[in-house]
Structure 1
């Protein structure tokens, strides 16, 4: 039978008219409209009647085949209907019971909720009344403390902090009875904040730790410790920036120099002095002295501020103020201040040097003087650090010069690095110019004079003496001196006559080339001797600098040895040739007894050897200086 049913369905699916009725989105209106548009209504009706007949036959056959199952399902439906009626009755009973329970519970619940809300509001009201009562007491006490002035300022700040904690999470803006007290608190806050800031500034400027500690305590209670401390550091940096700009202002320096120039006597007109005049330079270095004093004073102030922060504690929680700043990453105040200061100085010096040629020339030309000022600043800070007391926990506070990871001197050198580079370049140029000028007129026929050598020595001595203000600068200048010594040695080696008959002949008197070589040896030996004497006088700041120069002097010794060695080789060859003539002597003749005849002649080659050695000593060796390279050669 299932096969018959499937056959009917397949027949419907294959037919275009019947297939429409099997679709899930079947729409009777659209099917009717399509039939009308096709103008074959009678055919469609006949087709539909045929389909209905097929479906009737199929339904009849299905009912006939399954009538027993259909009867069983019909009886089951009657049983199910009885069960549903029983369930509906039970549900109605349950609903009636729940309505009775609801009527008994809702009213007590509403009363309980109302009473609970009233109790909560009563508690809030009581809490607010207690807070207001406590607030009135605090405000009364605060008024008395404010009348006490600076002596009671810490207690007043503590009372204000207590009031803030009392009012935390409570809004009394709509309570009229508390408006006066709130106004008193706001006015007291502004007054205490103003007094604390003024006290902090004055205490820092005068380095009064008591005032600074009191101000920090007040700011801590007002919860303004971190912003005000950072603001003080920033304001100190800004004041120093203004001082630097004022010290490097060409207009201000001109006024100072003109005033000094104009005070020389009555009737003298003030002339412009900008540039390399002594008055302008004097005004510049006077301003730089004052600037270094200001920087030192500012560093001392910030150092003292950090010391007080490391000592002071909250009287309630016993937390050190510096630890409070460390929580937000601002605990190392002095270090960050110095790094910012070094960066600011570097920027301002570079800016001033770029804008003014006069300042750049002054700083580059007199860089050791500028470095000496900064070294003096370093020493003063080091002395102050040695007097720094320990913090409240026994650890030293504010010791930033001795931190392994923080090199103040490196930051200082970095500030002056561009000027140092320019000065070293000028220093090297001066040294090389001295060498080139001394040897400019020299040739194989003419050697440098003693005056030329003195010019080189004076230039070297001057550079080392000026650089002796700082060990590091002295080492760098010593490297420049080493380059100048190498240049001198190379030029002298080029001037020496080391080849040819004029330079290597040993039989006749000394030639002009050999005499020039001897004069060159004397000059090099004198240069080496005077340099050794100068280095042995311990006039240099750094032993390493002396070692650098001594190492360079070895090149001079090598040049001396290179000048004498060819002639010594020629002398050795001649001596060897004379000694070889001993084979031409007639040794068959009986020897003369020297004891019996002291004046008896010796062998011919011995007489020739004696004469040659005497000739070399007289004409060559006596003209050479007693340099180690000569005596050892």
Structure 2
């Protein structure tokens, strides 16, 4: 494939041979100088086209392969460099000769190309001659057309100038006529306006006058009347009338807004609408009330006005350095500050209500001619309402002034922090009045519901400081009750009373505001948790706090006192929650629960210890025989020995411990919760004693008739001592019913078990355990089968529940049946099918 350089040479040769004027001239010259004979001879000897093309390629190929000629084919050939190299090589003559050969070769190729394309070149020459003749004809037509155009232009120019002149005169005449018409209309309207102003006196129809005035102004703006003397002479009077109309309209508008008279406000707004100045007038009014709002807030918190109002000689710096209790002028200054804040709230209320009234009239008012709504005239879609614009300024100004007062004046800061509920009440009062007084059906209220949060947010620094002081006051009381340096101290009743009173005061002050009540309750919750933590830290947990055999120890007395005090606080604070919002109750509930839990934990170990003691006494029932007629259990005294120990333990617990717990429960505790922690634990203790005795009395085996009488005797003694020393047994509910049902169960005939209603009151295990006493020896009780002590088996029953206990009982029945079958007996004891029947029919529930 030929290189780009060779391709460009071929293209150059072709273009030169076919399109160059110089070649055409050369061909023409040759054609004219050579005879026909010479041409024929030349063409006969000239190579044909294919041979010429081959020769051309061979020549180019020769150039490419030659080390000298090939340099001429590169794109960046440099003639100066080539000459320099030829001279420096020492063979300049040889190079020159070589170049001459190349030139001759190129000339031969060029001549061959020219002669080969001779006819084609002649054809192009003839085409050029034809083109020249056509151009001559066209040139003549163009010249003729130009001449015609010049003649037409000469014929039209004069009429055009004439028409143009007449048109200008007509336009001037038309403008003059329109000017005269406008002047006549202006003068006519001025005359009407003058007659209206002169005839109306003090009762001029301002709306109509404003309409005339506006029409005159529109005509003056649409048409330049400057220089028209008859109009210029009336301009001063016109401006004076316009100013008079605006002044009277503004007076009436302000008067109508102050009195909240919709009719007056609407009529004077119509005046400004007719004048075309409704929007700027409303904007001016809104700007005025924005400024009044800012001025009102600033005046309320300006120290100079407060100091001047009380006539105090103390300066700002002196007041800031003084405590609230120092100086006779401080209380008066504080009272003046509150008065100014009240005045500020009243002024802000008046400003917002007036703007809302204006907005309400604008929303209702329509022009009687165009029926355009006034509010639509002054507002674009998406614009804020007028009251929203003013309220935004009120909030920003109030927030800025409050922030400045908090940081710049310790007097204002202390006054508003201590009296924050009062300050918040003023703000809430303002908001409630605005909501109430602008709540009109079909009309948006003056402020949106979220406006309260916007204004209250400005008081956040004072709110935070107030909550901190509230927490500090309560924390100080708790810290005084439990000094850090004294271990084991307990609060006095007076300290408890002061704490409860302080909590009541904190809640009572903020009760009017739901949100502040919630925040203060959260701080009270922290104090209650702190109180619970401090009390828990003081609680004794050593062996002395759990002993029940001896007299009351100091550690137990301290725990009992702490429990009673915490119960008292819990009950009194709970009583304060009556009527408070649910959110407040929810925020205090965890703290009250924690307080109740610590109060319970103080005495729960004591009750656990007495339960263990009483259970050990009851477990001695298994050490006594109830099978023989001459039992040694104290029949003569009416009760068994274990029962005597049980009675003594209960009486001791009552006298040493329970009497102090129950006597210390305040009326507040029982009136609110209905049952103190001590009473609740005592009720559980009494229920446990009765059920525990029934459980183990049912396990007594063997049991004779006399033994049954002894159990019933012990049962009566137990009921008496529990009812008198622990808890009224009639109020125990299901445990007492089960206890009472055990007596008929003991004397019930085995054949009557299946249909007896007594079984519904007793736990199923008690019924089945009692039936073991009526069964043969081969039917072992679960206690014996599992090789457990009565105490271990009782603990197993507590942990497993009734339903699982039936599985253990069923296992003993199955073993009994296997023994009988293995022995070859055909009959079972009547107790065996009875126990199977009852076991499958009774309502087993996991306990």
Aligned counterparts of 1:286 and 1:153: Cα–Cα separation in 2: 42
1:306–1:398 Cα contact (<8 Å) kept:
no
TM-score by length of 1: 0.80
1:600 paired to 2:617: no
Name the residue aligned to 2:311.
258
Aligned counterparts of 2:452 and 2:227: Cα–Cα separation in 1: 61
Match of 1:125 among 145, 162, 176: 176
Indicate how the Cα distance of structure 1 residues 111 and 568 shifts in structure 2: closer, same or farther if over 3 A, else same.
same
Match of 1:562 among 585, 601, 613: 601
2:258–2:354 Cα contact (<8 Å) kept:
yes
Shift of 1:367: 0.3
1:457 paired to 2:503: no
- Give the 3-state SS of the residue equivalent to 2:637 in structure 1: coil
Shift of 1:366: 0.5
TM-score by length of 2: 0.61
Shift of 1:72: 7.7
Shift of 1:81: 6.0
Name the residue aligned to 1:466.
509
- Give the 3-state SS of the residue equivalent to 2:404 in structure 1: helix
1:231 paired to 2:284: yes
Matches within 5 A, 1:406-485: 406-440=449-483, 445-485=488-528
Shift of 1:631: 2.7
Name the residue aligned to 1:339.
392
Aligned counterparts of 1:179 and 1:128: Cα–Cα separation in 2: 14
Name the residue aligned to 2:799.
none
1:311 paired to 2:360: no
Shift of 1:130: 1.1
1:442–1:495 Cα contact (<8 Å) kept:
no
Report Cα offsets for 1:409-432 as digits up to 9, x if no partner: 112221222211211111111122
Name the residue aligned to 1:264.
none
2:289–2:390 Cα contact (<8 Å) kept:
no
Report Cα offsets for 1:241-300 as digits up to 9, x if no partner: 222222212222222233799xxxxxxxxx989762321221111111111111111111
Deviates most, 454-463 or 438-447: 438-447
Match of 2:563 among 521, 536, 542: 521
Name the residue aligned to 1:397.
443
1:560–1:630 Cα contact (<8 Å) kept:
no
2:399–2:455 Cα contact (<8 Å) kept:
no
Match of 1:100 among 136, 141, 151: 151
1:444–1:513 Cα contact (<8 Å) kept:
no
Match of 1:379 among 408, 423, 432: 432
Indicate how the Cα distance of structure 1 residues 93 and 375 shifts in structure 2: closer, same or farther if over 3 A, else same.
closer
Report the aligned-residue RMSD.
4.0
1:632 paired to 2:669: no
Aligned counterparts of 2:116 and 2:555: Cα–Cα separation in 1: 147
Report Cα offsets for 1:221-249 as digits up to 9, x if no partner: 33332233222222222222222222212
Name the residue aligned to 2:301.
248
Deviates most, 250-259 or 475-484: 250-259
Match of 2:620 among 581, 586, 589: 581
- Give the 3-state SS of the residue equivalent to 1:570 in structure 2: helix
Aligned counterparts of 2:268 and 2:452: Cα–Cα separation in 1: 33
Matches within 5 A, 1:49-64: none
Name the residue aligned to 2:402.
349
1:145–1:153 Cα contact (<8 Å) kept:
no
Name the residue aligned to 1:40.
none
Name the residue aligned to 2:774.
none
Aligned counterparts of 2:565 and 2:288: Cα–Cα separation in 1: 62
Shift of 1:547: 4.7
Name the residue aligned to 1:534.
576
Name the residue aligned to 2:187.
136
Indicate how the Cα distance of structure 1 residues 159 and 501 shifts in structure 2: closer, same or farther if over 3 A, else same.
same
Aligned counterparts of 1:544 and 1:253: Cα–Cα separation in 2: 40
Match of 1:213 among 257, 266, 291: 266
Aligned counterparts of 2:121 and 2:638: Cα–Cα separation in 1: 170
Larger radius of gyration: 2
1:176 paired to 2:229: yes
Name the residue aligned to 1:507.
549
Indicate how the Cα distance of structure 1 residues 491 and 67 shifts in structure 2: closer, same or farther if over 3 A, else same.
closer
1:621 paired to 2:666: no
2:562–2:602 Cα contact (<8 Å) kept:
no
Shift of 1:609: 1.4
Indicate how the Cα distance of structure 1 residues 177 and 508 shifts in structure 2: closer, same or farther if over 3 A, else same.
same
Q: What runs of 5+ residues in structure 2 fail to find an aligned partner?
A: 1-12, 18-51, 73-106, 325-329, 666-674, 682-847
Deviates most, 74-83 or 341-350: 74-83
- Give the 3-state SS of the residue equivalent to 1:110 in structure 2: helix
Name the residue aligned to 2:37.
none
Deviates most, 133-142 or 197-206: 197-206
Aligned counterparts of 1:454 and 1:321: Cα–Cα separation in 2: 65
Aligned counterparts of 1:77 and 1:619: Cα–Cα separation in 2: 146
Name the residue aligned to 2:583.
544
Indicate how the Cα distance of structure 1 residues 59 and 563 shifts in structure 2: closer, same or farther if over 3 A, else same.
closer
Indicate how the Cα distance of structure 1 residues 165 and 610 shifts in structure 2: closer, same or farther if over 3 A, else same.
same
Deviates most, 175-184 or 74-83: 74-83
Higher RCO (C-alpha 8 Å, min separation 6): 1
Shift of 1:330: 4.0
Shift of 1:628: 3.5
- Give the 3-state SS of the residue equivalent to 1:620 in structure 2: helix
- Give the 3-state SS of the residue equivalent to 1:314 in structure 2: coil
Indicate how the Cα distance of structure 1 residues 330 and 64 shifts in structure 2: closer, same or farther if over 3 A, else same.
closer
2:297–2:397 Cα contact (<8 Å) kept:
no
Deviates most, 294-303 or 434-443: 434-443
1:609 paired to 2:646: yes
- Residue-pair matches, total: 573
Indicate how the Cα distance of structure 1 residues 591 and 305 shifts in structure 2: closer, same or farther if over 3 A, else same.
farther
- Give the 3-state SS of the residue equivalent to 1:172 in structure 2: coil
Indicate how the Cα distance of structure 1 residues 272 and 98 shifts in structure 2: closer, same or farther if over 3 A, else same.
closer
Indicate how the Cα distance of structure 1 residues 63 and 412 shifts in structure 2: closer, same or farther if over 3 A, else same.
closer
Name the residue aligned to 1:287.
340
Name the residue aligned to 1:324.
377
